[in-house]
Amino acid sequence: MKIGFIGLGIMGKPMAKNLLKAGHELCAFDIVPAAVADVVAAGARRGSSPKEAASGADLVITMLPNSPHVKEAVLGKDGVIEGLRKGTIFVDMSSIAPAVSQEVAAQLAAQGVEMLDAPVSGGEPKAIDGTLAIMVGGKEAVFNQVKDVLLKMGSTAVLCGGIGAGNVTKLANQIVVALNIAAMSEAFVLATKAGVDPAKVFDAIKGGLAGSTVLNAKAPMVLAGNYKPGFRIELHIRDLQNALDTAHAVGAPIPLTSQIMEILQALKVEGHQQEDHSGIIQFYEKMAGTKVRKP
């Protein structure tokens, strides 16, 4: 399949490479030349713009930072919409506001182009090994046409509803992840202050009801004091802002999300925004005057 791929950041680059490994023909574009060069070296063709990357493609994928970037890349000058032909499928795998997905889909539909919103969860490690969880919104018939392609980048791809449902599901995912990390942080700081080794606490609880994928992924990072980003705090702020905006629009109270958002904002003010979201624990460590990490 001929695929145009726009957005070659921490997530997009390994996703694009997995499509190349699967034998698809790729035309790639990013505003960072080095990122494009890396994917071209893996076998892709270089696109000079989103329009060129989309031209002649059967499927166009975007993986961009936020709503404004998607609107600009798709609807702006030399955007994807200028290169699409009737019958092409567009899949936005960025994490953006559901309302923006619906807005973009409506404009593409006027051009005879079907769209899916398909954000992902799993961070850089799962993007690299092709085991992302993919949450999809759109028509079932369109989803079925590209599901096999999506499964070259993820281990699961689930249709959650109409356009925007993928991003609503991603927002729900991000709420659960953030609150899990915060709960882990509170628990480990409590253990440390009470004189109990948090590593032992982790070993004791990970097999019980408190165990989770989040705990298993983030506890080792916290215990090592390693906040190298797999998913940056600034990106989680983006997602929770979209969650809050969407919740306010539909009338769904999410008070715990508001609290973890303020914790993330405090960490951003202190310069931690480029760190992994496991660094949430640093907020609790500062308040408690302790360090959880192993000596």
DSSP, residue by residue, 188-243: HHHHHHTT--HHHHHHHHTTSTT--HHHHHHHHHHHHT----SSBHHHHHHHHHHH
Query: What is the structure's pLDDT at 293?
Result: 86
Q: Which residues are annotated as catalytic? A: 170
Supply the pLDDT for residue 295: 64
CATH number at residue 48: 3.40.50.720
122 and 15 in one domain? yes
For residues 4 and 80, the answer to whether their CB atoms sit within 8 Å is yes
Q: How many domains does the chain contain in total?
A: 2
Q: Could you tell me the two tokens for 71?
A: 């609107």
Task: Classify each residue of 215-241 as buried b or exposed e, where b means 16 or more C-beta atoms within 10 Å of its C-beta.
Answer: bebbbebbbebebebbbbbbbbbbbbb
| Whether residue 184 sits in one domain with residue 232 | yes
The CA distance from 169 to 135, in Å, is 7
Do the domain assignments include residue 293?
no
Same domain? For 116 and 93 the reply is: yes
Asked which of 120, 140, 162 is the last residue of a domain, the reply is 162
Residues 139 and 86 in one domain: yes
Q: Does residue 19 sit in the same domain as residue 64? A: yes
Same structural domain for residues 264 and 156? Answer: no
Does one domain contain both 80 and 175? Answer: no
**Residue 267 structural domain:** 168-288
CATH number at residue 245: 1.10.1040.10
| Domain end (from 162, 180, 210) | 162
Same domain for 28 and 123: yes
In a domain, 295, yes or no: no
Ranges in the chain, pLDDT < 70 = 295
Can you give the pLDDT at residue 149? Answer: 98
Element spanning 280, H or E: none
Phi, psi at 155, each rounded to 5°: -90, -20
Query: Is 293 in contact with 189 (CB distance < 8 Å)?
Result: no
Same domain, yes or no, for 97 and 82? yes
Boundary-marking domain end, from 135, 162, 189: 162
Calpha distance 33→81 (Å, rounded):
22
Percent of the chain with pLDDT over 90: 96
Residues 94 and 219 in one domain: no
